[in-house]
């Protein structure tokens, strides 16, 4: 693969703002994406913390259109396009590629459990062939604790051999550093880029040759995460990692998506940003107060939001 097409750095599954009627709110989405880009963070819209699986394919394509019309650069985007239905995955992936996305983050089809590597290979193969575009760069999405459909090393090896131009890398959200390290050791020499699934593993991933991280808290703590990516070889890298871990722990003490949205609503002074789609619910007043108090103790802020 041409190295100029490879994505690196810090990406975030962009939170999806909703209007009062729970329709996606493209204006707020554009505003948040512009802020993330200003902080050096790439856009992995329609990831887990984007409430992606609460959005329809037409809604996602509509948001892609809104971002493109607002001049958001496609090369800084890695939208999630993996769906349960093959046809939805193909349609959404085509839309992303045609709008210039630098890559797509693709879950395996995740409803049926215990599926074989043959079935998963066939699914990815069908998507690649049906999209039929040499610009397609797929970043596999390994999050077995949620999808219950793991992406194993043998499957990665098979996909790389069959589609070396299309299979670009992976987001490992397993939370198992040994698994991430094994991916790096086995596949990184082949030009397969490995992103850690949170900033908790960012420093370790970079030291082992990884490409960066794709992290929920990039939505709220982008500057310091990007700073570690840019200065990880410096003397204070471990201290920076510890500070990132402390902020991450504050958010992880609450349901993650409502907590992220509560923080954005607070610092943007825009209560509509706290809206989530059912079955998720917003943080209650006590939870929100506790979240903000914990962040204040860490001197946390969201400058420029």
Residues with a known catalytic role: 48, 111, 141, 171
Long-range contacts of 204-210 (CB under 8 A, 24+ apart): 204/177, 204/180, 205/180, 206/232, 207/232, 208/180, 208/181, 208/184, 209/184, 210/180, 210/184
Q: CA nearest 222: which of 277, 255, 266, 263?
A: 263
Q: Which residues contact 290 (CB under 8 A, 6 or more apart)?
A: 253, 254
Q: Which residues contact 89 (CB under 8 A, 6 or more apart)?
A: 81, 82, 83, 106, 109, 123, 127
Written as six digits, the tokens of 193 are 């880029």
- Write down the residue that tokens 């019309």 correspond to: 69
- Strand segments, DSSP code E, in 155-287 are 167-172, 193-196, 212-214
- Write down the residue that tokens 């940003």 correspond to: 273
193-196/42-43 β-pairing: unpaired
- Distance, in Å, from the CA atom of 54 to the CA atom of 130, rounded to the nearest integer, reads 25
């Amino acid at each position: 693969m041409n190295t100029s097409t490879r994505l690196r750095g810090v990406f975030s599954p962009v939170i999806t703002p909703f209007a009062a009627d729970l329709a996606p709110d493209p204006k707020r989405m554009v505003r948040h994406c512009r802020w993330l880009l200003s902080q050096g963070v790439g856009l992995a819209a329609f990831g887990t913390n984007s409430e992606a699986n609460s959005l329809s394919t037409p809604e996602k394509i509509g948001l892609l259109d809104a971002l493109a019309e607002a001049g958001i650069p496609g090369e800084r985007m890695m939208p999630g396009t993996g769906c349960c239905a093959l046809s939805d995955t193909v349609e959404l992936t085509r839309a992303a590629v045609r709008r210039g996305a630098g890559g797509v983050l693709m879950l395996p089809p995740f409803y049926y459990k215990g599926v074989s590597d043959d079935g998963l290979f066939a699914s990815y193969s069908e998507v690649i062939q049906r999209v039929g575009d040499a610009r397609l760069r797929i970043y596999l999405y390994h999050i077995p604790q949620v999808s219950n459909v793991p992406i194993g090393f043998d499957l990665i090896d098979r996909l790389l051999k069959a589609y070396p131009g299309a299979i670009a890398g992976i987001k490992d959200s397993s939370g198992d550093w040994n698994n991430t390290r094994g991916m790096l050791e086995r596949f990184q020499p082949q030009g397969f880029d490995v992103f850690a699934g949170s900033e908790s593993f960012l420093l370790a991933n970079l030291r082992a040759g990884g490409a960066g991280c794709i992290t929920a808290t990039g939505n709220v703590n982008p500057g310091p995460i990007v700073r570690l990516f840019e200065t990880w070889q410096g003397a204070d890298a471990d201290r920076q990692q510890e500070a990132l871990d402390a902020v991450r722990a504050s958010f992880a003490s609450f349901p993650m998506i409502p907590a992220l949205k509560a923080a954005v609503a607070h610092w943007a002074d825009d209560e509509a940003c706290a809206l989530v789609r059912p079955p998720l619910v917003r943080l209650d007043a006590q939870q929100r107060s506790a979240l903000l108090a914990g962040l204040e103790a860490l001197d946390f802020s969201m400058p420029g939001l």
